[in-house]
Amino acid sequence: MGCGVLTTYTEIANIAGLHGLLVYTLTGAIPIFMFSFFGPLIRRRCPDGFVLTEWVFLRYGRICGWYLSVFTILTMYLYMVSELTAVQYAIEALTGINATPCLIIECVVTSIYTALGGFKVSFITDTWQAAFVMIIMVVAIIAYATNINIDMTLKHETEHQLLGANKLGWMLVYILFVAILTNDAFMAGFWLRTFAAKTNRDLFIGTGIASFVAFFLCFLVGITGIIAVWTGDLQINDPEGYNAFFILIANMGTWVTVIILIFAVALSTATFDSLQSAMTSTISNDLFRNKISINWIRLIVLIIMVPCIVVAVKAATNVLQIYLIADLVSASIIPVMFLGLWDRMYFLTSWEVMGGGLGALVGVFIFGTVYYGNAKDGGKLLLVWNGIYDSEDWGPFGAFVIAPFGGILIGFAILAIRLAILKVYSKAKGKPFTALDKPAPRAPPSELTEEESVERDIEDTVPKDIDSFENI
């Protein structure tokens, strides 16, 4: 979790108060722990894997693997943009200087040391980051305790709004849990760590510690969105609510500002190098099947850094909105795909997974068009254009209901159509209907000969007859 946590949690707290903050911190922490449940399931089915797409290649075939890869790369790109946007907020709010050169330096430096050290260096920077963050958080807590002056009149006037339960907070219980749980499945960095765990017990302990630390740190950061209202620096639902943490720090001494700025950059750097390493692994393994030099892949990732910087500087205005765009995509795609982990769903194929996921996004657009009365606002809902902040606007809530459940329903509708077509085809050709026969387990790629690997690639890509058509 990078520098973005210093803006998104404060924004939620400033809008939905303590209720919204508790929901966000819990729904951000619990999905991390869920890797200790889903990780062993996928590692058992795909022992040679190191990212989620390896299981998808094995379970659903090559086309579906490419499909997931494209959206995984898109998600990581959005997270890179959000990370650069967040560190830009930090630098400009605390120093007043143009942050663009700093963003360029961060991209270049992380690209150099990840190219030299690979993913291992990301593990190292994460370890340093964890120890460093603990020290800095102690300093920050002392600084806040000795420098913040709360206006008790403002506190009493806003206490009910900021500390009481509210409708938006209850809406976020569902929206954020679905959004973050499914989106974490797109984070290749999390899967790299999941597959790297020595044992399932280590994975359980690691995700447990991570969940607790994430909840604790994000809550401490987010509470500044409330404190800034009580000091008179912000209003409730303030347009600058995302900047609450930095606005309060800027009012303290220079030494506090310097330490917190180092803290923000350290958070951003450690997360950004993980995203770069994960994107390198995804592009190399999923798109090119590790058949071209890793140096070319790193060059591609370096080129991707250019639009990341441009969008972060010129177009990105809200880190939370960037996260929500990625969340809505993942909420559409992941649920129907993960049904394949259930042995009784052996008959699901890439037709249902891909059709269900893409159909869910179309369903969100249709819902938005009907709900708002025009196609333009329906398209905006796909980008969560208006955020999730208005408790009277049920559009975002409806979108996050339709995305997962619509994807599953559309997937089963496609399944029914596919089975009907194959049934008719079988009768017409006088062939047995085998679409619901349980397939033989697919061997991991490491157990295949080169000829068998090539044959599987062909079967997964080009349907030659009814049998291969059913498999795909």
Greater confidence (414 vs 87) lies with 414
> Does residue 231 sit within a domain?
yes
Mean pLDDT across the chain? 85
Residue 86 belongs to some domain of the structure: yes
* pLDDT score of 258 more than 90: no
In degrees and rounded to multiples of 5, residue 165 shows phi and psi of -70, 150
Q: Distance between CA 113 and CA 273 in Å, rounded?
A: 9
**Conformational region of residue 448, where left means phi above 0, alpha means psi within -120 to 50, and beta covers everything else:** beta
pLDDT digits (tens, 9 = 90+) for 357-412: 999 999 999 999 999 999 999 998 988 887 777 778 899 999 999 999 999 999 99
Query: Residue ranges of the alpha helices (H) in 252-293?
Result: 254-282
Which is nearest to 169 in space by CA: 226, 229, 234?
226
The answer to whether residue 257 sits within a structural domain is yes
Query: What domain range is 109 assigned to?
Result: 5-325
In a domain, 21, yes or no: yes
Best-predicted range by mean pLDDT among 121-125, 263-267, 396-400? 396-400
- pLDDT > 60? residue 269: yes
Question: Could you tell me if residue 293 is inside a domain?
Answer: yes
Tell me, yes or no, whether 359 lies in a domain.
no
Residue 364 resides in a domain: no
With respect to residue 88, please indicate whether it lies within any of the assigned structural domains. Answer: yes
Contact, 226 vs 213, CB < 8 A? no
What digits encode the pLDDT tens for the residues 27-46? Answer: 999 999 999 999 998 988 88
Classify the C-alpha dihedral 203-208-211-214 as positive or negative. Answer: negative
- Going by C-alpha positions, the residue among 429, 414, 396 that lies closest to residue 171 is 396
Sorting pLDDT into bands at 50, 70 and 90, what band is 294?
confident
Residue 272 vs residues 104, 265, 266: alpha-carbon distances, Å: 12, 10, 10
Domain harbouring 189, CATH code: 1.20.1730.10
Domain count, the chain: 1
Flag whether pLDDT at 468 surpasses 50. no
